[in-house]
């Protein structure tokens, strides 16, 4: 086959394959990739710069077994809860890894092709896809030490014999960026003698060797299966660490970006509505590179948002949050941000590098510890431990302030945080526990020995039903969240790609302006992030005098366009010229 006779898809694949695998027969390997993934060489390309999302899209992040009822598979229980209570709020469901695993609550995968029987089966996943868009995890950097692949590696059999990254113990790996404090290499007895394998995260999570093209083919088979099962949104877990080259940082390497471009190319040609999200818990300027030139991730996690927003609300100053927002480039059409402020993991602190000083970071960690949180560390370049993550439920994290400790404003503070998230450019994602204000689960931490368990509570169905009908804060949070989401979903100015400008209204008021893509609707989103009343002068906003202005939250009409508004502690207004 002459290169001139290649289809456009084959020509684009050729560029990626030659970069990643210069020693393979590129033409043969391209054919193998297409055959493995089930794509014809002349498959039509997706429409470029298309936004397969709108202001109506809201993500729910949850484990498959967060909700358990007697004599029912957890996926059934979860589906029933979403269908009956959240169908009008949620459009995308991120079901965290539902595969057989050996540790890390699913992120140490033993078998990528089956559903954990105690959760349900593939038909249960298919049931979700008939009512929601489903996001699935592609745990691509590593797999379980108890997987068939690793068992085969130890005995020298295939598949698996050459699927893992090895390094001699005397290799200089001092430049490697670490997310953990555990030793990078694990000694393993194999049929060929003692070997040392690479373990970025834990000794149960063995890093896969993507220098071997057969590993890529394995993941193409896995992705094809997920697409066949109806999964369309793909979260590439820990993808920043994918490619290893000793003597480098082994994070964000050019080959990693090349691999993401290759995967996106194939996935989009197989399913035009497919979406790739990169999970890269790294400093903000590095995270932004995963958009590529609108040819890598469709969405990137806004990892700097959680720590900066929490910091703003507990200090009463949005100085650093505002500076960050002003530095964020508008996402190109066909790309956007995934905004979240809580997840199954803790609050990552690497994304604050260059944004918060060491003193400010220490104050934040100390405050979270006073609110019942824990702090985990990683090994820094100097070999010393550095704060990596705060483990705490969002409800507890926002239970008070740095200056005064816990107070009675937690509910207002909690809603303000989510109002900000919902109003920002991007697609909002709610951790299921944030929808009900679940508190720290210290008992689960004691049981598992894992700090992240503090925010991974498992609800018994009858207990959750009782709590949502009780007198505490969960029913109030649940109702308020649904109301906020419903308002957001009607506003064209809250489209993930609508225009956004940061406003200068002082450090206690976090404010920005959104405008719909047809320029018909404007929203001034103004949030008091302090525990003191704050005044906003409407004259500063330059409201168009011919428009009628209306607060979407209070439903108050503002006839006086140059008057003042006094915002209570943590009160917010979404001032718009179009009532939807």
Binding residues for substrate: 104, 142, 235-237, 344-345, 452
Binding residues: 104, 142, 235-237, 344-345, 452
Distance from C-alpha of 371 to C-alpha of 405, rounded to nearest angstrom: 8
Distance from C-alpha of 568 to C-alpha of 535, rounded to nearest angstrom: 9
Distance from C-alpha of 330 to C-alpha of 498, rounded to nearest angstrom: 9
Cα distances (angstroms) measured from residue 251 to each of 21, 39, 170, 431: 19, 31, 20, 27
Distance from C-alpha of 223 to C-alpha of 232, rounded to nearest angstrom: 10
Q: Nearest 10 degrees: CA dihedral of 151, 154, 157, 161? A: 100
Q: Under a CB-based contact definition with an 8 Å cutoff, are residues 420 and 489 in contact?
A: no
- Residue 321 backbone dihedrals phi, psi, to 5 degrees: -65, -40
What's the start-to-end Cα distance of the chain, in Å? 57
Distance from C-alpha of 171 to C-alpha of 248, rounded to nearest angstrom: 12
With 0-12 CB in 10 A as exposed, 13-18 as middle and 19+ as buried, what is 206? buried
- Residue 422 backbone dihedrals phi, psi, to 5 degrees: -70, -30
Which of 137, 207, 237, 441 is labelled catalytic?
Answer: 237
Q: Report the run of H or E that residue 398 belongs to, with start and end.
A: none
Cα distances (angstroms) measured from residue 349 to each of 240, 364, 370, 388: 16, 10, 17, 5
CB atoms within 10 A of CB 143: 29
Catalytic (active site) residue 237: yes
- The residues annotated with a catalytic role in the active site are 237
């Amino acid at each position: 086959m002459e290169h001139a006779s290649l289809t456009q898809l084959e020509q684009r694949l050729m560029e990626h394959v030659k970069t990643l695998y210069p020693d393979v027969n590129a033409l043969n390997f391209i054919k193998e990739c297409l055959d493995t993934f089930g794509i014809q060489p002349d498959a039509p390309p997706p429409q470029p710069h298309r936004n397969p999302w709108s202001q109506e899209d809201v993500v729910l992040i949850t484990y498959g077994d967060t909700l358990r009822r007697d004599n029912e598979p957890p996926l059934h229980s979860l589906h029933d809860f979403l269908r009956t209570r959240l169908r009008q709020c949620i459009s995308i469901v991120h079901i965290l890894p539902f595969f057989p695993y050996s540790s890390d609550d699913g992120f140490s995968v033993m078998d990528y092709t089956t559903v954990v029987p105690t959760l349900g089966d593939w038909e249960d996943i298919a049931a979700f896809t008939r009512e929601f868009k489903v996001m699935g995890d592609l745990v691509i950097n590593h797999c379980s030490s108890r997987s068939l692949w690793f068992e085969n590696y130890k005995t020298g059999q295939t598949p698996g014999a050459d699927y893992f990254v090895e390094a001699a113990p005397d290799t200089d790996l001092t430049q490697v960026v670490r997310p953990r404090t555990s030793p990078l290499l694990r000694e393993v007895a194999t049929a060929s003698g003692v070997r040392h394998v690479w373990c970025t995260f834990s000794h149960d999570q063995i890093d896969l060797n993507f220098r071997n093209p057969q590993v890529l083919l394995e993941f193409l088979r896995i992705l094809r299966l997920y697409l066949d099962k109806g999964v369309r949104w793909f979260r590439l877990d820990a993808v920043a660490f994918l490619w290893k080259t000793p003597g480098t940082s082994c994070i964000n390497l050019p080959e990693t970006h090349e691999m993401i471009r290759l995967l996106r190319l194939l996935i989009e040609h197989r399913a035009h509505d497919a979406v790739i999200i990169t999970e890269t818990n790294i400093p903000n300027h590095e995270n932004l590179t995963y958009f590529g030139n609108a040819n890598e991730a469709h969405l990137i996690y806004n990892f700097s948002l959680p720590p900066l927003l929490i910091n703003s609300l507990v200090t009463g100053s949005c100085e650093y949050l505002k500076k960050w927002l002003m530095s964020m480039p508008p996402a190109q059409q066909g790309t956007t941000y995934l905004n979240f402020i809580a997840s199954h993991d803790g609050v990552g602190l690497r994304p604050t590098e260059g944004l918060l000083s060491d003193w400010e970071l220490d104050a934040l960690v100390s405050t979270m510890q006073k609110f019942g949180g824990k702090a985990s560390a990683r090994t820094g370049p100097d070999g010393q431990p550095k704060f990596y993550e705060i483990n705490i439920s969002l409800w507890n994290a926002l239970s008070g302030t740095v200056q005064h400790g816990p107070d009675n404003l937690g509910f207002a503070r909690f809603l303000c945080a989510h109002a900000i998230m919902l109003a920002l450019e991007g697609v909002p994602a709610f951790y299921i526990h944030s929808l009900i204000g679940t508190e720290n689960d210290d008992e689960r931490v004691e049981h598992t020995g894992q700090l992240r368990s503090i925010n991974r509570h498992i609800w018994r169905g009858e207990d959750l039903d009782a709590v949502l009908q009780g007198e505490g804060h969960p029913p109030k949070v649940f109702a308020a969240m649904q109301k906020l989401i419903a308002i957001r979903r009607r506003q064209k100015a809250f489209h993930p790609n609508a225009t956004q400008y940061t406003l200068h209204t002082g450090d206690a008021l976090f404010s920005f302006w959104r405008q719909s893509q047809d320029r018909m609707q404007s929203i001034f989103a103004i949030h008091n992030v302090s525990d003191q009343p704050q005044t906003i002068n409407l004259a500063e906003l330059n409201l168009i005098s011919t428009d009628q202005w209306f607060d979407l939250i209070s439903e108050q009409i503002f006839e006086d366009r140059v008057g003042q508004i006094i915002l209570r502690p943590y009160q917010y207004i979404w001032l718009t010229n179009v009532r939807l």
